[in-house]
Structure 1
Amino acid sequence: MNKNKILLVDDEINLRETISELLIHENYIVKTASNGQEALNILDSWIPDLIISDIMMPIMDGNMFHQLIKENIDLSSIPFIFMTAMNGENQMRKCLTNGADDFITKPFKIDELIEIVKNKIERFNKIKNAYSNIYIGNKISFLHEINTPLNGILAPIDLLIENEDIEKEDVLKFYEAIKISGERLNRTLQNIMLYQNVKSNILKFEDNSYAPVLDIFLKVKSKIFEVYENQEKRITYAIDKADVKISQENLSFILFELIDNALKFSPHNTIVMVSGSIYNQEFYELVIKDFGIGFSENELNRIGATQQFNREQQEQQGLGLGLFLSRIIIKKIKGVFSIRSKEKEGTTIKILLPLNI
């Protein structure tokens, strides 16, 4: 049976360690942070079943941390308990009004905390089981991403079956269309399964994995232009050779998703620039720059696993998982991911990957 996971956030180290040991003794998996920013860093790659947070903390306090959790579609349903030394009915009412699931005042009885934790996790598990869809994003977008490539497979097959006298050249075109649609559907399903692994905290990596950056990029570039026909000139690149500590499969995934996004969100008359070089003795830097529609600051703050923007105005293929999953993978291998963007000017993504030395 899987153990339930708890994120504990408090700047008082002695109290934090005491509560953590208590919860571990109660058979929970516990991770701790000393402020809201540390907690957000943990949540980039680890999803708990409950969050317990102090209010008064340095760098990022509990109120700001809770607000950011509420605004994140992938985290907002996690039960959130405030724990604070500040007493008073007004404080409690404010926390609960702002959407917290419960409020406990320091000092508190151990049995009281355990009972609250147990009840909140049980309730959360019931909700997860009742709404355990494989994908929790926009259902219309989800159906579109399944039906479109599926139709792209079935329709040509029907035509090939019904018409025996199709020219060989046209038959080959149908085969190519079926292959492209099949790969798009496969990519969608693979991304969903990867997302489910992230949600379940079972995404694992081998420490001895490594990948040659230039070789992987060239393979990915060829793969991309099977989808973006006659657009080879849109990518310019200058990539130095080096081996990085990441599996070839994961590096291929990251490069394909990020370059595909850059092409997809840019006019056909613009280029996408990809560069790679040794950053220092520890890291290799990859930069992917486009001159497309860009993101607003608000949209950048809202980027999550199922987030898409302006789909009505800008038709998008994909479920919006690529950017989120790429960031998670980079975080897991102890790399660094940063994104800068400006509306109507474009987006620049910079990645630092550990060198395989």
Structure 2
Amino acid sequence: MKKKILLIEDDKIVRENTSEILELANYDVKTAENGKKGIELAKAFLPDIIICDILMPILDGYGVLQITSKLPDLEHIPFIFLTAKTHHTDLRKGMELGADDYITKPFEESELLRAIEIRLKRAEVFEQKSANKLTATSPKSIDNLEQFLQKKKAFTYQKGETIYCNGSKSDVLFLVKSGIVKTYKYNELGKEYNTGYYGDKEYFGYVSFLNNTMHFDNAKAISTTRLYKISKEEISEIFNNNHQILLSFIHLLANNLSHSKEQCLLLAYGSVREKTARMLLYLLENYPSKSGYEIFIDRNNLSNSIGVAKETLTRTLNDFKKESFIEITKKGVKILNKEKLLEVK
């Protein structure tokens, strides 16, 4: 399989020439013209190595390195600065931030390729040592899930931080330790549609995980969230030794499939009132952040869950309020009459 390289460079000529060199060397190359776009691309592409210029608009190379070094999926990726700056203080700053190497412009093709090869080999050695260490310390069987999770690292995502993107691929199953995650898609007009919400002790991202395919949606933390990432080997051990967990997981998949089919029918044939009523009832049972009959959700996420404009949602909620079906609160919506909502057509 080709190694993946992300090249972040604002100079179009340098970017195109360097990309061509790397592609001729049989690397899978993606490029970005500034640091901000580079970070977004890195989250989706998950490169094996990042090559980045220092002086760029919007976000410079130092900023890119600082941000990627704090993201769980990117923190161990080798990082090489490609720059015309050669002052000792510039080199020192980059190394203190965690850069693996510097290549000064103009450079020889062989110099660039040699630096990449060295860093990739070192990364492979590090991964192999980590895998061997994990194998040596991991239990042969996982018969107590809670004890297993207590020893496992939890990854922290801040509010609004992307966990995975449509078109990316995960070899882990995500389990929420704390916080809330939403999954969502964009239609052909760029309109966001939320496909699910996940809270404490709930799994997500399992379609890509089980089918070994690309994610069909995106996932983002909508509050500060901590996640476990469980490998296929670990989940196999869990299922083999905890049949009740396996049955619960099958039940989860069946429920989500049933809800997805219902949502497709509502989107195609349901009125705005019916879609809104059904979603409120679904969130009352399944939304992670609620208290009693009150659902703590903002208007944007609620409208994106239903597939209607925010203004349309506001009118519908006001109608439901007048009919005493709901109460509109500062934090979201409180259900007053479930039976009447069930009758809405």
Query: Which bracket does the TM-score occupy, shorter chain normalised?
Result: 0.3 to 0.5
| More RCO (CA 8 Å, sep 6+) | 1
TM-score (norm 2): 0.48
